[in-house]
A and B are shown apart, each in its own frame.
Chain A
């Protein structure tokens, strides 16, 4: 039975409406399609109390996700911690700072589990029997794992130069992994051609309108975990430029439904200097980004040179009064290390990008030091260990003797000695 909460698909440019189907582009102007809801119906079905009574997964906001029936894939996804990061806040010289930590999302340790569980549940509703995606790594991990648990064969197309952990972490689930000699943008273009030729359910291509909605749950959770209110500032990594918009959309939907009093929040975008089409557009006041042919950064999960949602991300940043910045590979490594040392959170390179940009925006005075800041941590450092290997201290190696230990130990021995 069709969802009573979903009206259909709507073009983000011209507003043309379409029925629910595996389609991503408007037939009039090729603008991206987005799910349209009946917020009156959702409002009657949802309340804070109802949401709070449900299990703490992303599905507690089910009425705001585009499925006709109960979800069938990724039932345990979401419900990640919002950490009050006081030690990091002191380090950055700000009063109130939180980390929304999807580095521990289930099952594949990135926010992509949120989008994939919606996309694959929808793929099954639409009758697809083979699924796949183009990926910079995390999405591939998630599609492969969730497809395995759903018993769906999966094809994952990735750039050949991805981190070993991300390739292995896809292959292990039995997915057919295809490494392509080219940039992510070339992989994505190929994947669109594959979608047309083979009729598969490719989560970020023909299932994109449904897939992208899953990211809203990152924002719903932030607002609920803050006690049903939105923070004043959110800093978000940008690859394709979709997540930042969906977090803000989540806040707006909660406001529309009366679940939060205000949705006012300045949105900030973070990119790596080696691939910064959106932040460059924001800083130069361009309406649209200029694509980057050959991205070059350790933040490979963000290395999308031609982000199709870049136009919308730049517009959102301008309209909310936020800003965007980009940081060097060295700043990214230092920020990963700082986050780990102060908060015990090992984020992937994208997390280093987001924290380093946060620090830069605070130092520039763009983000005030006395207001509430949430930093989006979207992936896990165990997947990008090579990037930080040269920064962290090499462990001392000693013989198994107390004398050898004492020689390398900075701390004074306790008196009297514990014997």
Chain B
């Protein structure tokens, strides 16, 4: 069972309007690479010169990956990776 990636609305034009995409990978970086292989339009919108863009947040099973091991965080079958643009609060 692969990793399920949740695609935010503004990114869906690049995933054939799919809200979730399944890929096989062993790390968060691997998930995003695999996603980019399937949908090449995604990669330049997630990364800028190899760096994850400032306003892109990633949540592995509802935990912000910055509190785990960032892009090197391992993933396993059945995990859920949500891509969510950063939005301030109140």
A-side residues, CB < 8 A to B, are 13, 23-32, 112, 115, 133-136, 138-139, 184-186, 188-189, 192-193, 196, 203-205, 208, 239-242, 288, 291, 293, 304, 306-309, 311
Bound-state CA distance A136–B89 (Å) is: 8
A311 touches B87 (CB 8 A): no
| Chain A residue at smallest Cβ distance from B11 | A27
Contact A188 B11 (CB under 8 A): no
Q: Which of B64, B82, B86 contacts A308 (CB 8 A)?
A: B86
Q: Which of A28, A139, A293, A306 contacts B90 (CB 8 A)?
A: A139
Chain B positions within 8 Å of A311 at CB level: 54
Interface range on chain B (Cβ under 8 Å from partner): 20 to 34
Query: Is the Cβ of A115 less than 8 Å from the Cβ of B48?
Result: no
Q: Which B residues lie within 8 Å of A306 (CB)?
A: 57, 64, 86
Task: Give Cα A255 to B66, complex, Å.
Answer: 40
CB-CB under 8 A for A208 and B55, given A30-B45, A291-B66: no
How far, in angstroms, from A316 to B87 measured CA to CA in the complex? 18
- Assess A242 versus B55: contact at CB under 8 Å? Given A23-B10, A27-B13, A291-B64: no
Q: A239 CB to closest chain B CB, in angstroms?
A: 7
Contact B88 A26 (CB under 8 A): no
- Note all chain A residues with C-beta closer than 8 A to B56: 30
The contact sample of 25 A-B pairs, CB cut-off 8 A, is: A13-B55, A23-B9, A25-B8, A25-B55, A26-B10, A27-B45, A28-B45, A30-B55, A30-B56, A112-B90, A136-B89, A139-B90, A186-B62, A188-B87, A189-B57, A192-B87, A193-B84, A203-B90, A204-B88, A204-B89, A204-B90, A205-B87, A239-B89, A240-B89, A309-B88
- A383 CB to closest chain B CB, in angstroms? 15
Q: Give the distance in Å from the alpha carbon of A226 to the alpha carbon of B13 in the complex.
A: 49
Hey, what's the 0/1 contact readout for B72-89 against A, CB within 8 Å counting as 1? 000000000010111111
In contact, B88 and A242 (Cβ under 8 angstroms): yes
Chain B residues within CB distance 8 Å of chain A: 6, 8-11, 13, 19, 45, 48, 53-57, 59, 62, 64, 66-67, 82, 84-90
B11 and A134 contacting across the interface, CB-CB below 8 Å: no
Give Cα A288–Cα B54 distance, bound, in whole angstroms. 9
Q: Summarize A's interface: helix, strand, loop or mixed.
A: loop
Most buried by B among A139, A291, A308, A311: A308
- Shortest distance from the beta carbon of A199 to any chain B beta carbon, whole Å: 10
- Quick check: B90 and A30 within 8 Å, CB to CB? no
Residue on A nearest B46 in the bound complex, by CB: A30
Determine whether the beta carbon of A135 is less than 8 Å from that of B67: no
Residue pair A184, B9 in contact (C-beta under 8 Å): no
Cα distance A155–B86 in the bound complex, in angstroms: 21
Asked whether A30 lies within 8 Å of B85 as measured between CB atoms, the reply is: yes
B45 CB contacts on chain A under 8 angstroms? 27-30
Q: Which residue of B lies closest to A187 (CB)?
A: B89
Complex Cα distance A139/B84, Å? 22
List 10 extra interface pairs beyond A27-B11, A133-B90, A204-B89, CB under 8 A: A13-B54, A24-B87, A25-B10, A25-B87, A31-B54, A138-B90, A184-B89, A208-B87, A208-B88, A291-B67
Residues of B within 8 A of A309 (CB): 88
Rounded to whole angstroms, the CA-CA distance of A306 and B54 in the bound complex is 12
Residues of A within 8 A of B54 (CB): 13, 31, 288, 311
In Å, the complex CA distance between A28 and B19 comes to: 17
Q: How far is the CA of A29 from the CA of B49 in the complex (A)?
A: 12
Q: Which residues of B contact A205 (CB under 8 A)?
A: 87
Residues of B contacting A31 in the complex (Cβ-Cβ under 8 angstroms): 54-55
A304 touches B85 (CB 8 A): no
Top 7 nearest A-B pairs (CB, nearest first) are: A240-B88, A308-B88, A25-B85, A139-B90, A30-B85, A308-B86, A30-B55
Min Cβ gap B85→A in Å is: 4
Q: Which residue of B lies closest to A190 (CB)?
A: B62
What's the Cα separation between A310 and B82 when bound, in Å? 22
CB nearest to B10 among chain A residues:
A27
Q: Which residues of A contact B11 (CB under 8 A)?
A: 27
Contacting B59 at CB < 8 Å: which of A25, A189, A240? A189
- A204 to B64, Cβ gap below 8 A? no
With both beta carbons as reference points, the residue of chain A lying nearest to B19 in the complex is identified as A196
